[in-house]
Structure 1
Amino acid sequence: MLTWRWFAARFGGAVLTLVGVTIVVFVVLRTIPGDAVTASLGTESGTLTPEQRDSLNHYYGIDKSWFEQLWTWISGVLHGDLGLSVTSGKTVTELLGTALPVTIEVAALAALMGTAAGVALGVLAGARAGRRTDSATQGAALVGLAIPEFVVGTAVVTILAEVFRYFPNTGTFVPLTTSFSENMSQVFYPALVLAIPFAANVMRTTRSEYVEMAEADYVRTARGKGLHPGRIRRAHILRNATIPIVTLTGIQFGYLLGGTVIVEQIFALPGMGRLLLTSITNRDYPVVQGTVLVIAVLFVLVNLIVDLLYRAIDPRTRAA
């Protein structure tokens, strides 16, 4: 019974979140100057007669009230129809089907590298708390958090080109299933740029939790029994420090799914971030609404998975 109540509460919260995101994005887009007619015709829209503009407004559905437009779009979403792109004429589902795998791959690779490096450096710093290694590691983490991604991305591209005479492949995107080497040449460096602040955050959390857990009574008891330091580190310290790390990793991965705009633009990756930026510039409302909705769904899904991991890792969460 408790499990069903838990799922019902999480599902209800997720639905409310998605409805709220949909309404906010819809209203914000309608307050931006310009409309679908201007986006599709550009400067030629100024030459339209009133009758032609009225006809196009009716075609794009922008002659209706905001409430009617919102209800029409939500009804389409419930039937699996995210609409048509104003600028390309393709369905939003088709555009997202091409862009979504790119963003997920880059975000997943960045999260994998960032988590591995962050946990390793956090354990290294926590095991040597107060020493030079700890100070150096924390200093590096602060630098990783302070430097903006567009600066790091630009620096990576410049160093690769000027020093190593290597130019990342920015041509047509090659899926992982087609060629592993060509795919990695396109996604590795963007993922590396995103992994730096990711690792810095994970490192700081891991280090803090490690130091706190290392002073716990049960850890001192384990040391007193003569257990191997490696076993104490794995079974007693890291295991109990897992939940904050899982929380941070899940939240950061959710943000990565919608925060790859700058990196995708620098490395010319056809992901959701670049699609969203282009659609906002072109006032392509259906694409913007569909992209934001998919990002919100993924973020909610990631948080749900994190909650499930809580229940699997810590029995006290299930009891609560």
Structure 2
Amino acid sequence: MRFLKNILMGLGLVFVLGSLIFAVQNTGDVASVEKDEQMDNEVKGYRISAIDIPKDLSFAGESVPSDDPEIMERVDREFLVNTYWQSNALLLMKRANKYFPIIEPILAKNGIPDDFKYLAVAESGLQNVVSPAGATGFWQIMRATGREYGLEVNTNVDERYHIEKATEVACRYLKNSKKKFGSWTLAAASYNAGSGSINKFMGIQKAEGYYDLLLGEETGRYVFRILAIKEILSNPDKYGFDIAQEDLYNSVPTFTVEVNEPIANFADFAKLYEINYKVLKRHNPWLREPHLNNNSRKTYAIAIPNKGYYKIIK
């Protein structure tokens, strides 16, 4: 009897353990299904799709040949790259709000189509960057070109970093290119590759327009990239960007102080206007050293933020 009793107790224990194991496994299966459903819902919330390209694209009033499938494939590439690089596109939108109001009136004054502000975006992302070749500033001007067009370029003062003066130079260059090549798209391409290169390619290929030219990788994509940037920044909602006015960057109001003598120390100079060295240099990136030589007694206009805009910790 005792033997039979032990067997029954053992069977009962096995049954209980089996039930527990089944329950745990079943619970795990349910949790796994719920997790899969949650992940599926999250994926459904973010869908990646092809982009509907407008059929009436134009740059500076010159239409894109949308009936050419090869051209539209190249357009599509730039729309995909610039739309789905979301962080960069958002930064461009934020900076454009800050800098376009400076660039636009200079373009208009010089008779340059407003679309060329997007060329500056393509060149530098609206930042004072320096390329491996030495092109500098928002408009990526080479040292020799800057000097040729009247900018002061040296280790102490480099006006390629001066947004207003650099934009004036870009306008003059583009007007000369337009006069030479007869179209704004070729003027834009020459800004990237140089007028000599564009002239050479046109001669070899006996082509008359940008869209008929076989160019290198960078210049071959250049105008298409500008087109994509123009469309996306002009219609952010259409391309999935949810950005409010308060999200955008704004310029800081400034006034100018004219100086016609050397400045020994910009840190001391900044204190005179209740700002610090960093703020002074941020608003005057063309001042390249901690002092201003100015042995020629040239008159410079230095931008100073309005009083009280920055709270300087002393």
The structure that has the greater radius of gyration is 2
With the length of structure 1 as denominator, give the TM-score of the two structures.
Answer: 0.24
Which structure would you say has the larger RCO, counting Cα contacts within 8 Å and 6 or more residues apart?
1
Query: Between Structure 1 and Structure 2, which shows a larger proportion of helix residues?
Result: 1
Query: Between Structure 1 and Structure 2, which shows a larger proportion of strand residues?
Result: 2
